[in-house]
Structure 1
């Protein structure tokens, strides 16, 4: 139960920061989704820093890592978790799994969004 609360509170904070980032960087006259792009890049940088520093200095308890990575970064952007998982696959030499996971996540995710939109138009 404690882990669920840590993830939940971290996710709450991350989601609020995500919304603030979108408000700050989204431009009405731009076709490019700057708010989303910046949140994805910052989330990836943040999860990398949290992982790297906690591995190097052992300064985070497992609870804080859960709160910050799964909770906050997950609430801020799920892309950071996706990128981190892919990095771990590459680091462990699982190139085939990395390729399948990356391509299918993007392609099937895009198709699922399109299917959802299509279903609403029926």
Structure 2
């Protein structure tokens, strides 16, 4: 059952990632990978929020945790895509974009996790 929960969640996450990437890339006019950055920040925020909420509200429900975090958010976030895009940016000689992508991704995604956890703690304590 755990594998099914992760697999089902992975499908939802990957389909969501594709949909959001398509929308963002329609308006992104630069070669900077904005869609991947946005998806990773959203995913980081959500994983912080959900892990904290699940810990406080239903710590025994491991299948739900697997479905939401490993499944949906694992399929949704795009670290492998981030890595490939960053290497490609450097190989194209766009060093400033490459460095900016690394800095923004790390800073914003870590901030997303912290903010998600803080929001979850505030929700649970209400």
TM over 0.5: yes
TM-score range, shorter chain: 0.5 to 0.7
Q: Normalising by the residue count of structure 1, what TM-score does the alignment of the two structures yield?
A: 0.60
> Superposition pairs for residues 1-122 of structure 1, below 5 Å?
2-26=1-25, 27=27, 29-58=29-58, 61-79=61-79
Q: CA RMSD, aligned part only?
A: 2.5
Structure 1: state its 5+ residue gaps: 80-105, 115-122
Deviation >6 Å, runs of 4+: none
Q: Which has the higher contact order (CA 8 A, sep 6+)?
A: 2
Partner secondary structure for residue 31 of structure 2: coil
Q: Closer, same or farther in 2 for the Cα pair 1:60/1:22, shift >3 Å?
A: farther
Q: Where do 5+ consecutive residues of structure 2 fail to align?
A: 89-126
- Following the alignment from structure 1 to structure 2, what is the Cα–Cα distance between the partners of residues 72 and 25? 20
Alignment coverage as a number of residue pairs: 84
| TM-score, scaled relative to structure 2 | 0.58
Per-residue CA deviations over 1:56-105 (Å, capped at 9, x if unaligned) read 223671100000000000000154xxxxxxxxxxxxxxxxxxxxxxxxxx
